Amino acid sequence: MKWTKNASEGIVVATGFPRGLCVDSSENIYMADYGNHQLVCWPKEAKEGVVFATGDGEKDDINQLYYPWGLSIDQHDYLYVADHSSHRIQRFPLKKD
């Protein structure tokens, strides 16, 4: 659940299998959806998430997620994803220059 300040109801943000969660400096929520092979962002005040990286769950191609697990954001606004079944860490820029 995501709760905005002074809200009386929460917003469901977890889909199938949430495995990692972090929040950036703009208060956007990021989740690794393990079972659906995707990363989802809930912008601050949003009512639903936006998929911004995905995979097909069949292979570990460089442009596919394959059971994403843990998340972390660094001080330069890069999102790091532990892509479990691909045996790698992927990096995504969160802000455009």
DSSP string, 66-79: SSEEEEEE-TTSEE
Q: Is 85 helix (H, G, I), strand (E, B) or coil?
A: helix
- Whether 74 is in a domain gets the answer yes
- Whether 77 is in a domain gets the answer yes
Within 10 A of 39 (CB to CB), how many other CB atoms are there? 25
Terminal alpha carbon distance of the chain: 31
Q: How far is CA 68 from the centre of its chain?
A: 9
- Whether 11 is in a domain gets the answer no
Domain CATH number, residue 72? 2.40.10.500
- Whether 67 is in a domain gets the answer yes
* The total number of structural domains that make up the chain: 1
- By residue range, what is the domain housing residue 86? 18-93
pLDDT digits (tens, 9 = 90+) for 16-74: 788 889 999 999 999 999 989 999 998 988 878 899 888 877 766 777 899 999 999 99
- Whether 65 is in a domain gets the answer yes
- Whether 9 is in a domain gets the answer no
Q: Using an 8 Å Cβ cutoff, are 9 and 1 in contact?
A: no
Q: Is 57 helix (H, G, I), strand (E, B) or coil?
A: coil
pLDDT digits (tens, 9 = 90+) for 74-89: 999 999 999 999 899 9
Q: Among residues 48, 49, 17, which one has the least CA distance to residue 32?
A: 17
Residue, of 93 and 45, whose pLDDT is higher:
93
- Whether 29 is in a domain gets the answer yes
Q: Is the pTM of this model over 0.85?
A: no
- Whether 59 is in a domain gets the answer yes
- pLDDT at residue 61 in the model: 74
